[in-house]
Amino acid sequence: MANYLSSIAFERQQVSTDNVQADVSKPLILIADDDATVRELTKVALTPFGFTVAEATDGQEAIDAFSRLAPDLLLCDVMMPRLDGFSVCTEIRKQPNGEHIPIVILTSLEDMESIEKAYAAGATEFIVKPVNWLLLPRRIRYILRASRAFQDLKSSEERYALAARGANDGLWDWDLTNNKIHFSPRWKSMLGYGEDAVGDDPEEWLARVHGADAPRLRAEIAEHVAAQSPNLECEYRMLHNDGRYVWMASRALALCDSSGRSYRMTGSQTDISTRKHAETQLRFNALHDPLTGLPNRLLFLDRLTHCLERAERHEEYQCAVLFLDLDNFKVINDSLGHILGDQLLVDVGQRLSTVLRTGDTLSRLGGDEFTVLFEDIEDFSDVSRLVERIQEHLAEPIKLNGHEVVITASIGIAVSSTGYQRPEDMLRDADLAMYQAKSTGRARYEMFDSQMHSRMLNVLETESELRTALDRDEFRLHYQPIHAVKTGEILGFEALLRWQHPTRGLLSPGDFLQIAKHSRLIVPIGRYVLREACQQMSEWKKQWPNSEHFISVNISSQELLQPNFVQIITDLLNDTGLEPSNLQLEIMETSLLKNKAQALEIIRELRACGVQLCICDFGTESSFFGYIRQCPFDMVKIDRSLMENMTSDPHLQEIIKALFELTHNLGVQAIAEVGDKVSDLDHLKRLSCEFAQGYLMSRPSSAEATTHLLQSQYQNPDSEVMNSRENTDATYQRFVSG
């Protein structure tokens, strides 16, 4: 506190509730708090900005000071001796001059119940402790300015209402002595009745009031008739002649005789349905997603809070939170447009709603993220069955303006049995589990466990380090030769990414590539790989101008589907001076599934530029025959998962044989990814496979080591040496020699 006080240079003003000088230019602020430090800090914060501050040490003193000083605004703590802040607020609102004075509640309670209680007691605003004292003067001025504007508007509205009342309001006059009431024609027509359709019995009015509102209206009428309230102001619903309920507001004043007994009460009735509907819509909008109409994060967390409180009271009660993220939604949204993307989200929300029980809560948090609050579960099998139903419903194709889209979701699950105290923590853990599901294959679900949080922290740490790895020049490229099967000649190289981590050493892509893809870092990293690979191949071409080697670079789907990807490639070739035929782009079959039409168009443009194209992981997808027929690919790379079991599986041998025959018939060359079995090479030779790549022949090595390898080949053109490892040379020599 001393540091804060010393930072504000001004002459302290001692103001108490006993000596406050009236100054219309200085708004008077009454601070009611039993904490002397808070009161002192309030004076320190407000006095330099033209406010006069008075103090009250408890609730009752605050009420007394308010009556005596008539402050412009009351700052009132919630927890105080004698009377709490809610009671102070209620009592002040009953005073003739306290109806419209701004009352700001100071509270350290952040739960919705306390905030609602403050507003119900008549609070204008609330400020959560600890108070930002530097912003407090601006906050107070804003509240005062808004209050004055409201009063000016209210006065204007009252003047207008007085002028319009005769035409728009229904009037009534109640003879309390004889218990007869007269309703004006306008009063009757507001409810859809003619002149003779309503009698003079008060029940003609009261019996039509909604059952939930009638007791309150009757009680307020009785209170006013008994002179316990200055006037009658009440809002309620009434049954219209057409069967619907309309909102009405009545204002009335009772007349008393010399003995103080009320004998007559006259009032008006106004239709406030439009305002009430607007208020209802505002409340709905505050708690619901505007696109789907589903509960939003605020309402979801509120309901989850109640479930966790119930779980704490009843040991047998459990609930689960499901966190859903749609797979590849951004690709769909970017391809079809945001209008159809929004339509897809609405359709997904409707499908999910049909799966849930009546008591469960489905929420849209934003974007393509949905959450489910699954209540009163007995065991995990209930949750797994729900997840299966969700995936089944989502798997059905969705038609969007002539487009048929199939959507899947990655789902994370957190169960209350873990012992959550805060709803935010349970939602966070479900989110972490969803991230784990997405990173391990998508279209699946993961259950949160205690180790997952630490694993996710490691992922986040790796992601953070990846963001700086490019700036720190920590990435390296290694090059693995691609051999001609019959001669052993090196025909090209595949550029393979490595990360020279400052503490973990040299990392392979398996340690970080999935994280890069999910964090959208794969695009700048891929750009680095392309540039480095092209630059290196360009240097080799300058060193050996007659070589026909090519450099092969893997391209992710995120890179391929960039709108300007073809321009990026052509610019890169121009910058490095590399011929298009010396660059081969390896594209995974799964990349073509992301957005088939766009991917095929980009591939055709690349081929027109003269760049070589290769499908990698060929044969692992059911659609590979269609792609090789439609696309102008130069090569296909047979996936290692097919090759490594070839010698022991005759059926697989037939499949691989068919793949080679297919590629040969279409004029496409094949590269086989092989393991460390010499027998695999023997099979490839018999199957007339053109190229092979793998550790058996050559391991990936640095640019310097690869340069030495090329020097050795060009200095000894008849040599079969493809790698510095003697055992590899010997193995390959045996294969080539047959």
Q: Over the stretch 357-390, which tens digit does the pLDDT of each residue have?
A: 988 999 999 899 999 999 988 888 889 899 999 9
Residue 104 has pLDDT above 90, yes or no: yes
Range from 116-120, 151-155, 342-346 carrying the lowest mean pLDDT: 151-155
For the segment 440-469, the average pLDDT, to the nearest whole number, is: 84
Range from 33-42, 79-88, 160-169 carrying the lowest mean pLDDT: 160-169
* Amino acid letter, residue 304: L
Partners of 269 in beta bridges? 170, 250
Residue 571 has pLDDT above 60, yes or no: yes
pLDDT digits 0-9 by tens, 246-285: 999 999 999 998 888 999 999 999 999 999 999 888 888 9
Burial of 631 (0-12, 13-18, 19+ CB in 10 A): middle
Residue 451 has pLDDT above 50, yes or no: yes
Cα separation, 241 vs 202, whole angstroms: 17
Task: Look at residue 733 in the predicted model and tell me its pLDDT.
Answer: 46
* Superfamily, domain 2-159: Response regulator (3.40.50.2300)
The two tokens of residue 346 are: 């609405």
Task: Look at residue 735 in the predicted model and tell me its pLDDT.
Answer: 40
Q: Work out the pLDDT band at 25, boundaries 50, 70, 90.
A: low
Cα separation, 700 vs 723, whole angstroms: 10
Task: Look at residue 21 in the predicted model and tell me its pLDDT.
Answer: 43
Residue 595 has pLDDT above 80, yes or no: no
Cα separation, 43 vs 615, whole angstroms: 73
The two tokens of residue 426 are: 């349970």
According to CATH, where is 3.40.50.2300 located in the chain? 2-159
Task: Look at residue 619 in the predicted model and tell me its pLDDT.
Answer: 58
Cα separation, 583 vs 22, whole angstroms: 85
Task: Look at residue 666 in the predicted model and tell me its pLDDT.
Answer: 78
Residue 234 has pLDDT above 80, yes or no: yes
Cα separation, 355 vs 269, whole angstroms: 46
Beta strand pairing call for 398-400 and 403-405: antiparallel
Task: Look at residue 724 in the predicted model and tell me its pLDDT.
Answer: 36
pLDDT digits 0-9 by tens, 312-326: 898 889 999 999 999
Q: Work out the pLDDT band at 625, boundaries 50, 70, 90.
A: low
CA-based nearest residue to 476, from 515, 514, 517, 512: 512
Q: For the residues of 210-248, what is the DSSP string, one character each?
A: -TTTHHHHHHHHHHHHTTSSSSEEEEEEEE-TTS-EEEE
Residue 622 has pLDDT above 50, yes or no: no
Residue 183 has pLDDT above 70, yes or no: yes
Decide yes or no: CATH 3.40.50.720 for domain 169-278. no
Write the class of the CATH domain 290-448: alpha beta
Q: Which residues contact 725 (CB under 8 A, 6 or more apart)?
A: 699
According to CATH, where is 3.30.450.20 located in the chain? 169-278
Cα separation, 146 vs 102, whole angstroms: 9
For the segment 423-445, the average pLDDT, to the nearest whole number, is: 88
The length of the chain in residues reads: 738
Task: Look at residue 536 in the predicted model and tell me its pLDDT.
Answer: 95
Residue 684 has pLDDT above 60, yes or no: yes
According to CATH, where is 3.20.20.450 located in the chain? 465-737
Quote the mean pLDDT of the chain. Answer: 85
pTM attached to this predicted model: 0.49
Question: Between 3.20.20.450, 3.20.20.70, 3.30.230.70, 1.10.10.60, what CATH number should domain 465-737 receive?
Answer: 3.20.20.450
Q: Work out the pLDDT band at 738, boundaries 50, 70, 90.
A: very low
Q: Which residues contact 234 (CB under 8 A, 6 or more apart)?
A: 216, 217, 220, 221, 249, 250
Task: Look at residue 160 in the predicted model and tell me its pLDDT.
Answer: 47
Q: What is the enclosing helix (H) or strand (E) of 411?
A: strand 409-415
Task: Look at residue 480 in the predicted model and tell me its pLDDT.
Answer: 93
For the segment 400-410, the average pLDDT, to the nearest whole number, is: 88
Burial of 385 (0-12, 13-18, 19+ CB in 10 A): exposed
